[in-house]
Amino acid sequence: MIIRQALVNGRRMLEEYEIEDAPLEAEILLRDVLKKTRAELHLEFDSELSPHQYAAFRQLIRRRCRDEPTAYILGRREFYGRDFLVDNRVLVPRPETELLVEKAIEFARDYEAPLLADVGTGCGAVAIVLALELSESTVYATDVSADALTVARKNCRKHGVELSVRLLKGSLLDVLPEPVDIITANLPYVRKADLPQTGPVSTEPRLAIDGGFDGLEQIRQLCRQAGNKLNPHGHLLLEVGQGQAEAVTILLRGLFPMAQIQMVPDLSGIDRVISLSLP
């Protein structure tokens, strides 16, 4: 069978199971089997697949049809231009979380050797990117999940930041050994009633997406802890879900009446990051 026909067959299977972006998903999975770039694949549309290659491709397609995220199938996900190891022990990094990183880097430029904390670090993507982009920084990366920290440790080794990223197991800010200049947090913010029962998100760790009754359980707890864990003139950056920015802003204004607070929209116009700067 030639590559072109294999892609058609893969796309049709994915469409039968209502997988979004079926043509792109089929192409990504076949590229992984063949270890080819997109350009190479398109140049070889009429090349023959071996029976072994086609069987491997069909197996990946079947896994995707069972709602397994493509990132878990491939074992990696790109974030901020870098590849990170991921599996079902961690949340798959989302493109919108790059906004959190961009704002943290913007604030960190004011420090010679910034001290940062990434809370709920998961696979470590945010903490590692910050360490790579801010060469003089130290980043504490906390998570309550030992499994998640195992994945984060592998990613630290992969990107050579074992010395600048310090992994800590514990709840939110409880385990921070000292106040920091910048706190970033992408905590669970899906309401318990809205947790998906099907689809790729349903296979991700509940611990990483379940935000409690209104989605803000852990975010509220973190906000109340932040005052004792931020240095003077420090910054807190929170990723929130659609429709949550106003409630979080009101909470922060009550806790930090003198702080500067800003809602930062993502590319879809959704207020995605709440930025707080202490006076």
pLDDT tens digits, one per residue of 19-37: 989 999 999 999 999 999 9
Structural domain range at position 27: 3-66
Q: Check whether 200 has a pLDDT greater than 80.
A: no
Give the model's confidence band at 118: pLDDT under 50 very low, under 70 low, under 90 confident, else very high. very high
Residue 100 has pLDDT above 90, yes or no: yes
Rounded percentage of the chain residues whose pLDDT exceeds 70: 100
- Angle at which helices 22-34 and 51-65 pack, to 10 degrees? 140
Which CATH number goes with the domain that contains 40? 1.10.8
What pLDDT does residue 206 have? 86
Q: Is residue 155 part of a domain?
A: yes
CA nearest 174: which of 124, 119, 236? Answer: 119
**What's the average model confidence in pLDDT over 160-186?**
96
Q: Are residues 194 and 111 in the same domain?
A: yes
Let me know if residue 175 belongs to a domain: yes
For residue 32, give the nearest of 61, 66, 5 by alpha carbon. Answer: 61
Q: Assess whether 48 and 91 both reside in one domain.
A: no
Same domain, 91 and 143: yes
In this structure, the answer to whether residues 81 and 38 fall within a common structural domain is: no
Query: Both tokens of residue 152?
Result: 């984060």
Asked if 194 and 164 sit in the same domain, the reply is: yes
Q: Residues 239, 272: contact at Cβ < 8 Å?
A: yes
Quick one: pLDDT band at residue 5, thresholds 50, 70, 90? very high
Average pLDDT over residues 118-137: 96
CA atoms within 13 A on the CB side of 172: 17
Query: Confidence class of residue 197 from pLDDT cuts 50, 70 and 90?
Result: confident
Which residue, 66, 84, 100, sits at the end of a domain? 66
Same domain assignment for residues 55 and 164? no
- The number of distinct structural domains making up the chain is 2
String of b and e for 87-110 (b: at least 16 CB within 10 Å)? Answer: bebbbbbbeebbbbbebbbebbee
Amino acid occupying residue 129:
V
What is the per-residue pLDDT for 77? 94
Q: Assess whether pLDDT exceeds 90 at residue 195.
A: no
Q: Which of 27, 44, 66 is the last residue of a domain?
A: 66
